[in-house]
């Protein structure tokens, strides 16, 4: 049995609640997961101070288990994102691109789409946060720069990570933006949802981990011959939807099943199990 902790939207800065962050770390320390996956939005305003705090916290999680982290839309610098994508050319354009991810790279990692294999599971992280860019254009003005997309090069990275992994390992993709419309927000996180889900499915992905919507949810979706499970982790911060609680998910996988247990924050009790779903794995129908 492999156990993964899936945590999202820490939002260091004003929304961060140290009581919940401490409780989460204590909880994970007790569980002893095989890996901790953090699906972006480490900061609220992408400041040096917030990144310093996020890095220290991630390092403390790293003492519990290997961790895999990707950026969210709050972790990129707006000025770089705008300059990069609104018509600058040549060197300036390149500089702007470097600026966009400069703080994430400085404090967290140079690798924006890292992957991690542990016994029983391979997780391919995909950066979907590109700011205002051609691939993320949307008719909804308020979604500009918030919505994400999956780049072709990253799909090839997922392919390489899966091909290099143990064939029996559960194939998992982690992105920041939710590909399923949020129940309360009514919003998709990705601009190229259909295309991305088909591509991931064709690579034999069994589970997609995401965040961004700040509401925990577990969905299944049928793409081609393969069932795809989508697990959205809520936020640990106080940027929660009305009537919802801070939450994270535990993923348990063995040769037969994939089980997702959401844990929600209850005042006075800490994080307690709130939803428990089990799905049969589809390893036999994996493409060759
Ligand atoms: Fe967020
Ligand atoms: Fe986000």
Which ligand has the shortest distance to the CA of 148?
Answer: 2
Which ligand has the shortest distance to the CA of 177?
Answer: 2
Confidence (pLDDT) at 55: 98
Confidence (pLDDT) at 147: 81
CA 235–ligand 2 middle distance (angstroms): 10
Confidence (pLDDT) at 284: 47
Which ligand has the shortest distance to the CA of 8?
Answer: 1
Q: What CATH number does residue 245 fall under?
A: 3.60.21.10
CA 207–ligand 1 middle distance (angstroms): 20
CA 164–ligand 1 middle distance (angstroms): 31
**Domain limits for position 60:** 2-285
Which ligand has the shortest distance to the CA of 146?
Answer: 2
- The token duo for 169 is 């390992």
Model-level pTM? 0.91
Cα angle value 206/210/214 (rounded, 5°): 145
Number of separate domains in the chain: 1
CA 43–ligand 1 middle distance (angstroms): 8
CA 42–ligand 2 middle distance (angstroms): 9
DSSP the chain: -EEEEEE----BTTT--HHHHHHHHHHHHHH--SEEEE-S--BSS--HHHHHHHHHHHHHHHTTS-EEE---GGGS-HHHHHHHHTT--HHHHHHHHHHHTHHHHHHT-S-SS-EEEETTEEEEE------S-GGG--S-GGGTTT-B---HHHHHHHHHHHHHS-TTSEEEEE-SS-SS--TTT---SBTTHHHHHHHHHHTT--EEEE-SSSS-EEEEEEETTEEEEEEE---SSS-PPTT---EEEEEEE-SSEEEEEEEEEETTTEEEEEEEEEEE--GGG---
CA 77–ligand 1 middle distance (angstroms): 15
CA 41–ligand 2 middle distance (angstroms): 5
Which ligand has the shortest distance to the CA of 15?
Answer: 1
Confidence (pLDDT) at 221: 76
CA 9–ligand 1 middle distance (angstroms): 5
Please tell me the distance from the alpha carbon of residue 189 to that of residue 155, in angstroms, as a whole number.
Answer: 17
CA 224–ligand 2 middle distance (angstroms): 28
CA 80–ligand 1 middle distance (angstroms): 20
Confidence (pLDDT) at 43: 96
CA 165–ligand 1 middle distance (angstroms): 30
The count of C-alpha atoms lying within 13 angstroms of the C-alpha of 42, restricted to the half-sphere facing its C-beta, is: 28
CA 195–ligand 1 middle distance (angstroms): 23
CA 44–ligand 1 middle distance (angstroms): 8
The count of C-alpha atoms lying within 13 angstroms of the C-alpha of 50, restricted to the half-sphere facing its C-beta, is: 22
CB 102 within 8 A of CB 49: no
Tens digits of pLDDT across the chain (288 residues): 999 999 999 999 999 999 999 999 999 999 999 999 999 999 999 999 999 999 999 999 999 999 999 999 999 987 655 655 555 555 566 777 778 899 999 999 999 999 999 999 999 999 999 876 655 555 555 455 578 899 999 999 999 999 999 999 999 999 999 988 887 777 778 888 889 999 999 999 999 999 999 988 888 876 554 678 999 999 999 998 888 899 999 999 999 999 999 999 999 999 999 999 999 986 545 554
CA 109–ligand 1 middle distance (angstroms): 19
Confidence (pLDDT) at 229: 93
């Amino acid at each position: 049995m492999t156990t993964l902790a899936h945590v999202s939207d820490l939002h260091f800065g004003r929304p961060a609640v140290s009581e919940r962050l401490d409780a989460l770390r204590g909880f994970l320390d007790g569980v002893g997961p095989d890996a901790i996956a953090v699906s972006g939005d480490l900061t609220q305003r992408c400041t040096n101070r917030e990144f310093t705090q996020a890095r220290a916290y991630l390092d403390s999680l790293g003492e519990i288990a290997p961790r895999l982290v990707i950026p969210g839309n709050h972790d990129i610098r707006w000025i770089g994102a705008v300059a990069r994508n609104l018509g600058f050319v040549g060197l300036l354009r390149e500089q702007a691109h470097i600026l966009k991810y400069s703080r994430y790279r400085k404090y967290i990692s140079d690798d924006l789409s890292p992957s991690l294999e542990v016994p029983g599971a391979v997780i391919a992280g995909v950066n979907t946060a590109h700011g205002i860019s051609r691939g993320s254009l949307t008719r909804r003005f308020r979604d500009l720069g918030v919505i994400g997309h999956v780049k072709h090069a990253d799909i090839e990275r997922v392919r390489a990570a899966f091909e290099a992994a143990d064939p029996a390992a559960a194939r998992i993709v982690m992105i920041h933006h939710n590909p399923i419309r949020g129940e309360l927000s009514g919003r998709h996180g990705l601009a190229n949802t259909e295309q991305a889900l088909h591509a991931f499915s064709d690579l034999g992905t069994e589970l997609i981990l995401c965040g961004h919507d700040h509401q925990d949810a577990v969905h299944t979706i049928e793409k081609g011959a393969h069932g795809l499970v989508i697990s959205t982790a809520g936020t640990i911060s106080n940027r929660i939807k009305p009537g919802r609680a801070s939450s994270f998910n535990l993923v348990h996988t063995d040769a037969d099943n994939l089980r997702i247990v959401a844990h929600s924050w209850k005042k006075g009790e800490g994080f307690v199990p709130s939803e428990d779903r089990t799905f049969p794995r589809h390893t036999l129908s994996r493409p060759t």
